[in-house]
Amino acid sequence: MNYREKGNKAFVDKEFETARQEYTKGIEVTPEDPRLWSNRAQTFIKLEYPELAVVDAAYACSLLEPKIISGEYENADLALLCKSRWREAEALAKCNGFDLAASALERLFQIAYRRPVAGVDWNALECEKDRYLKEHYQNTMLLNNLGSDRYILVEQVGKICKFPSRGAYPWDIRSQERCTPESSAFVQKLLDKISGKNIKMSLVSFPGASQPQEFGIIATKNIKKGIILLDEKPLISVHSPGQLQCDFCNKSTSSKSFSCPKANCSEIFCSDDCFDKSWKLYHRAICGKNLDLLYAIVNKESKNSGISLLVVFKIFAIAKQRNICPLDIEEIKHLFPFQHSTSWFQHGLMAIDFYIELMKLLEIPIFDSRYESWIYLTIYRKLKPNSVFFNPLTSTGQLYPIISLFNHDCNPNARCSDDTSKSIQRGEPFPFAPILSTRVEAARNIKKGEQVFINYTLGHDFSVLSVVSNTVKSSGSTKKTRQLLETTYGFRCKCSMCDSSSN
C-alpha cells in the first residue's frame, strides 16, 4: 500500500491527521501526482486549516490544467480538476475569500467548458458561485458603510470573519522548543551582544494568558532613569518597492551611488559595507531575480501589510541561503506566531499569493518540506506582530528580534529611543531619516528584579497615531489601543491604565 492509499484509508476512517502525514510523505516522493495535493487539500479542510487547503488545491490545479487545455487528458484528469477547483473554492470561502471562491469556479467553467463529468452538477456549481458573489457583495457593502473608525471596523469584521485566530499549528514541534533552557540560553547570548549587565532574559508569567510562560526582560540591578539598556540594529530592513533606498539599511540613495556588482541585478545599496552585509545574510539568494511579481502583490496591499510580506521574503531568502528551514533561523526562533482572524480577513489570502510567487522566485521545489505553506504562514505570523513600521510616510520597516522580547505596558518603565520615537513623544515634526538602530532606555527608575516594559503602540504601530502637518499625534483612544493590542499582538491588555479605564 503506497502513501496515497494509506492516506485514503485514514481519511475514510476519519483519522485526518494521519491522512495528512501520509499524503505529505507521498508528496515528498511523487510531487507531480495531483491526487496527493488534492486529497491533502480536502484533509486540511476537514482539519479546519482552509488556508493550507487553498495552496494544495491550487498546486493540484496547476498540474492538471495544462493537460485539459492541451486536450491531452483522460476523463479521470477532468474529474480531478473539477474536484480540486471545488475544494479550492470551498477553502477560499472558509477563509472569507468569497470573491476569490467565485473566481475559482468561474475559471473551472472556462477550462472545462461544462463537459459532462461523472458526479459533477454544473448547475449546482453555478448556484454556489452566485452565492459566493452575493456574500462578497453583502460584506463589501457593510464595510463600506462603516466609515473609518478602526474600532468599529475591526469589531464588525470580527462578526463577519469566520476564520479562527491562529497560533502554532499542532504538528509544529519547534513551537514547543521556544522556551526550553537551550533556547533561553541562546537568546541570552543574543541579548548580551547588544546590552550591558543591567538586564537579562527571563521566563515570565501573565495571569490568564494562553501561554504558561513567555520571554521577558528583567532588571539585574537598580537602573536610573535615562540609562541605555540596549542598542540593537535591525536584522532586516525593508522599504516600499520602487524607492531609491539602500536594500540593506533603507538610507536614501541614488541608482548611481552603489549598485550590486552583478550585471543582471538591479538592487542598490548606499555603500560597499551594506552590500557585503546583505550578500552574507540574504542577497545571494535573490541576486539578479526579477521581483516585479512580488512587488505587484505588495503594492496591492495596505502599506504595513505589504511591507510585512517583504520582511517574510527576506527571511525566506536567509533560509534558502543557509539551506535550512526558515523556522530554524536562530535569530527568530524565539518569536511567537500569532494571527488574529480579523487580520486574516484583511490580507491573509494576499499572503498566500505572495507565497506561491516567492517559492518560484527562490527556485524552491514545492515538495521541499522545509518550506511548506504552514511554515510560511507560521513565519508570517511570527513577523507580522514583531516587525516595526516606524515611518508611515515612507513605508519603511524593520525587524528587531531582541527588542521583541520586551513585553507591553501602557505606562511603561522603558521606551524606544530613536529619532522617530523621540519626535512622537515630543509631538515634534516627523523625521524622514532611516532608522539605523534603536535603543531602549529607562523611562523612570527601575528596581532590581523588576520586569522592563515598553509601550508597543507608541513609536511601534502607527495605526493608533495620525500625521497632521508632518507631525505625529496619538489618537488618545484607550479603546482603540486595546483593540490594536488584541488584534495585532494577541492579548487583551490588563495593565493598571487599561483596567482603570474599563472600570
Query: So what's the pLDDT on residue 467?
Result: 45
User: Lowest mean pLDDT: which of 189-193, 230-234, 404-408, 415-419?
Assistant: 415-419
Mean predicted confidence (pLDDT) in 258-267: 84
Is pLDDT above 80 for 347?
A: no
Query: So what's the pLDDT on residue 144?
Result: 81
Q: Which domain holds residue 66?
A: 3-145
High-pLDDT (> 90) share of the chain, %: 53
CATH of the domain at 132: 1.25.40.10
User: Is there a single domain that holds both residue 119 and residue 217?
Assistant: no
User: Strand, helix or coil at 30?
Assistant: coil
292 lies in a domain? no
User: Lowest mean pLDDT: which of 47-51, 200-204, 320-324?
Assistant: 200-204
Is pLDDT above 70 for 295?
A: yes
Query: So what's the pLDDT on residue 91?
Result: 96
Query: So what's the pLDDT on residue 472?
Result: 43
278 lies in a domain? no
User: Is there a single domain that holds both residue 489 and residue 419?
Assistant: yes
| 272 φ/ψ sector (left φ>0, alpha ψ -120 to 50, else beta) | alpha
- Confidence label for 258 from pLDDT (cuts 50, 70 and 90): confident
Query: So what's the pLDDT on residue 489?
Result: 83
User: Is there a single domain that holds both residue 129 and residue 226?
Assistant: no
- Confidence label for 430 from pLDDT (cuts 50, 70 and 90): very low
User: Is there a single domain that holds both residue 105 and residue 222?
Assistant: no
CATH of the domain at 435: 2.170.270.10
User: Is there a single domain that holds both residue 183 and residue 140?
Assistant: no
Pick 452 or 458 by higher pLDDT.
452
Query: So what's the pLDDT on residue 393?
Result: 52
Pick from 123, 145, 167: which residue ends a domain? 145
Please state the domain count of the chain: 2
Mean predicted confidence (pLDDT) in 228-233: 93
User: Is there a single domain that holds both residue 104 and residue 209?
Assistant: no
High-pLDDT (> 70) share of the chain, %: 87
Please give the mean pLDDT across all residues of the chain.
86
Pick from 122, 145, 168: which residue ends a domain? 145
409 lies in a domain? yes
Query: So what's the pLDDT on residue 458?
Result: 66
316 lies in a domain? no
318 lies in a domain? no
Query: So what's the pLDDT on residue 469?
Result: 46
User: Is there a single domain that holds both residue 445 and residue 486?
Assistant: yes
217 lies in a domain? yes
From residue 308, how far is each of 170, 301, 315 by CA, in Å? 24, 10, 11
Mean predicted confidence (pLDDT) in 41-69: 96
CA pair distance 263, 268, nearest whole angstrom? 12
Is pLDDT above 90 for 342?
A: no
Determine the residue type at 309.
L
Instruction: Please tell me what DSSP assigns to residue 409.
Output: -
Pick from 120, 145, 170: which residue ends a domain? 145
Query: So what's the pLDDT on residue 213?
Result: 81
User: Is there a single domain that holds both residue 430 and residue 485?
Assistant: yes
User: Is there a single domain that holds both residue 139 and residue 18?
Assistant: yes
Query: So what's the pLDDT on residue 275?
Result: 93
User: Is there a single domain that holds both residue 405 and residue 486?
Assistant: yes
- Confidence label for 262 from pLDDT (cuts 50, 70 and 90): confident
84 lies in a domain? yes
User: Is there a single domain that holds both residue 23 and residue 100?
Assistant: yes
CB 350 within 8 A of CB 357: no
Query: So what's the pLDDT on residue 46?
Result: 97
Highest-confidence segment of 29-33, 181-185, 348-352, 390-394: 29-33
User: Is there a single domain that holds both residue 28 and residue 135?
Assistant: yes
Query: So what's the pLDDT on residue 425?
Result: 53
Task: Name the pairing type of β-strands 453-454 and 236-239.
Answer: unpaired
340 lies in a domain? no
| Residue 214, beta-bridge partner list | 204
∠ at Cα 232 (200, 273), nearest 5°?
Answer: 145
